[in-house]
Amino acid sequence: MQIVVHLPRPGSPDGDPPSRRALLAAAATAVARLVDAAYADDADPAWADAVRRYEDGWIRKVVRRARGVGWRRVQDLPGVGVEHDGASVRALLPGPISDLPDAVRKLQVGGTEVDDAAAEPPARTDPAALAVALNPRVTMTAGKAAAQTGHAAQLAWHAMPPDRRRAWADAGCPVAVMPATGDQWARAGVVVRDGGLTEVAPGTTTAVAWW
């Protein structure tokens, strides 16, 4: 799955880069909405087939940076776009790397680092939100972290009880990226362990989620 994040240059006509926290939350929400759309009763058969094939394999996510015309070119590709707290992200319908459109293939994978607006995320206020916490002992770029929050949201969609999942989807699949207490970490409903392809060792616990 390709996740395209909008990262304009500071002071550009397209606005300023988002905070890291907003970027991670938007990426997770975009992934969750895409998965929810693929499993809906009235889902497009092509979407349903693409997501099921993806989930039958390795749910790898690649985060790419876009700005200007590059960002505009991906808007018409199949996927789900999310705007959250100044962050704009588009999660694209998954498929083989060999079939990537040129508009996506040309986008840079690196250079996704952004700063956070505050040292600590605010407390979760939306009762419908999925809470996601990253492992504070693991150093990750913003792009890598966005992929991990996306993994957490995707796994949570499947792990939630049906009534809770429907309430989350009806609310738009909001996500709050926040620190976890020891008890929250230990009792989290979802644990993300990385495959180790980039940045971290295989099996590293990168994120947890709870609701």
User: Using 50, 70 and 90 to split pLDDT, how confident is the model at 60?
Assistant: very high
CB 90 within 8 A of CB 4: yes
User: Using 50, 70 and 90 to split pLDDT, how confident is the model at 25?
Assistant: very high
**Which helix (DSSP H) or strand (DSSP E) does residue 43 occupy?**
none
For residues 86 and 120, what is the distance between their CA atoms, to the nearest angstrom?
17
Helices marked H in the chain — which ranges? 20-39, 45-56, 69-73, 102-105, 142-159, 162-170, 182-186
Strand order in the sheet with 130-134: 175-177, 130-134, 205-210, 190-193
Helices marked H in 83-141 — which ranges? 102-105
Look up residue 91 and give its DSSP letter: E
The answer to whether residue 118 scores a pLDDT higher than 90 is no
pTM score of the predicted model: 0.93
Span of 44-58, 82-96, 109-123, 164-178 with lowest mean pLDDT: 109-123
The answer to whether residue 58 scores a pLDDT higher than 90 is no
Please provide the average confidence, as pLDDT, over all residues in the chain. Answer: 92
CB 3 within 8 A of CB 89: yes
Give the pLDDT confidence score for residue 108 in this predicted structure: 92
Residue in this structure with the two tokens 């362990």, named with its chain if needed: 193
**Dihedral, 85, 2, 107, 21 alpha carbons, nearest 10:** 30
Strand order in the sheet with 79-84: 62-66, 2-6, 87-92, 79-84
Domains defined for the chain, CATH in brackets: 2-105 (no CATH), 130-210 (3.40.1490.10)
Give the count of beta carbons closer than 10 Å to the beta carbon of residue 196: 11
CB 27 within 8 A of CB 3: yes
User: Using 50, 70 and 90 to split pLDDT, how confident is the model at 120?
Assistant: low
For residues 46 and 52, what is the distance between their CA atoms, to the nearest angstrom?
10
The answer to whether residue 81 scores a pLDDT higher than 70 is yes
The answer to whether residue 74 scores a pLDDT higher than 80 is yes
Mean pLDDT, residues 112-139: 78
Backbone phi, psi, residue 191, to 5°: -125, 125
Question: pLDDT tens for residues 148-161?
Answer: 999 999 999 999 99
Look up residue 127 and give its DSSP letter: T
Give the pLDDT confidence score for residue 12 in this predicted structure: 83
Give the pLDDT confidence score for residue 61 in this predicted structure: 96
The answer to whether residue 124 scores a pLDDT higher than 70 is no
For residues 27 and 201, what is the distance between their CA atoms, to the nearest angstrom?
23
